[in-house]
Amino acid sequence: MKIDQEARLRHANFPGAEGSLFLGDVTDALLRCFGAHEPPRVTELPGFDQQRWILVVSDPEVSITIESRSYWGMGLLSTCFLNSIKIVGPLNRRARIVFDLAAALGRNPWEAKWKNRFAKNTGVTSTEEKEKWEALIEFGRDDLSNTIDSIRSKAESLEQELPSLADDAPDGWDGDLALEEIGAAYAEWRLQRMLCTTALRPE
For residue 163, give its domain range: 91-108+125-203
Strand 2-3 to 9-10 pairing: antiparallel
Q: Is 116 a member of any domain?
A: no
Q: What is the pLDDT of residue 116?
A: 85
Domain co-membership, 67 together with 98: no
Q: What is the pLDDT of residue 202?
A: 44
Question: How far apart, in whole angstroms, are the C-alpha atoms of residue 19 and residue 168?
Answer: 62
Q: Is 113 a member of any domain?
A: no
3-state secondary structure of 134: helix
Question: How far apart, in whole angstroms, are the C-alpha atoms of residue 77 and residue 68?
Answer: 13
Q: DSSP secondary-structure letter at 123?
A: S
Q: What is the pLDDT of residue 69?
A: 87
Total of domains in the chain: 2
Domain co-membership, 144 together with 174: yes
Q: What is the pLDDT of residue 201?
A: 52
Q: Is 115 a member of any domain?
A: no
Q: Is 194 a member of any domain?
A: yes
Nearest to 56, CA basis, from 34, 81, 79: 34
Domain co-membership, 6 together with 57: yes
Q: What is the pLDDT of residue 15?
A: 86
Domain co-membership, 95 together with 50: no
Domain co-membership, 97 together with 74: no
Domain co-membership, 32 together with 70: yes
Q: At residue 153, what is the residue type?
A: S
CA distances from 176 to 95, 155, 190 (A): 40, 15, 21
pLDDT along the chain (203 residues), means of 10: 90 83 90 90 84 92 93 63 92 94 89 82 87 93 85 81 74 77 79 67 47
